[in-house]
Amino acid sequence: MINESRLLNDANSFFLQKDFEKAMFIYAQLSSTFKDNKEYPIYALFCDIASEDEEKALSLYDYFSVVKEESLDEAIRYVEDIIDAYDGDIDKMMEVLKDLSLSTVDALDAIKYEDFKKLINSRGSFRIAFEDIMFSTKVAIENKDDFFDFVTKLIDNDFNNTAYTYLDGFNEYFAYDDEIEKLYKRLEEKNFAANN
């Protein structure tokens, strides 16, 4: 008898450790064994995307993990739209971009954290504001306090992989900083809790 949830946990664990081949193998096994489950093929897609762009795959995984708790169908539809857009479907790409409500954000490659905080206020929550920009825009962090505030909010809103990406990217600047250590520890605890 296959232990479905254990296999999924193993696959997710491999994915988060960036061992995409092992993750893909297990997701494919789950997809073929449980043909009615719409979630497993999406995870396999993330592994495929990771072969070209790890950061994008991890961000999509984060987004999907958060949104599927509210609506699996909506999460799948959004991911499929994003993937179609990246595959060159111009109409889909325009649709996805139109969905990002603030055109000023769409046009930028980066948004200052100060402006991002205004976006949070106008959108009503960090999660919604971050979802608006996560695939089109980077958040430009200009000081240490903003960095810690931003990463803390990412962790609070379950964007754990994205938080890791920011921590790893800035680690050399803030090496041996107590706050960095605390944030890594919080992420480890969240991942441990999620996997057990």
Share of the chain above pLDDT 90, in %: 6
Query: Is the Cα torsion angle 107, 112, 67, 55 positive or negative in sign?
Result: positive
Asked if pLDDT for residue 69 goes beyond 60, the answer is yes
Chain segment 141-157, per-residue pLDDT in tens: 777 788 889 999 999 99
Q: What is the mean pLDDT of residues 58-75?
A: 85
The upper half-sphere exposure of residue 13, i.e. CA atoms within 13 Å in the direction of its Cβ, equals 13
Give the number of residues written for the chain: 196
| 80/47 Cα distance (integer angstroms) | 14
If we measure between CA atoms, which residue out of 46, 18, 55 comes closest to residue 138? 55
How much helix, strand and coil, in percent to the nearest 5, is found in the chain? Answer: 75, 5, 25
Q: Which one has a higher pLDDT value, 135 or 73?
A: 73
Residue 31 pLDDT: 85
Chain segment 3-18, per-residue pLDDT in tens: 888 888 889 889 988 9
Asked if pLDDT for residue 161 goes beyond 60, the answer is yes
| 8/27 Cα distance (integer angstroms) | 7
If we measure between CA atoms, which residue out of 85, 40, 75 comes closest to residue 158? 75
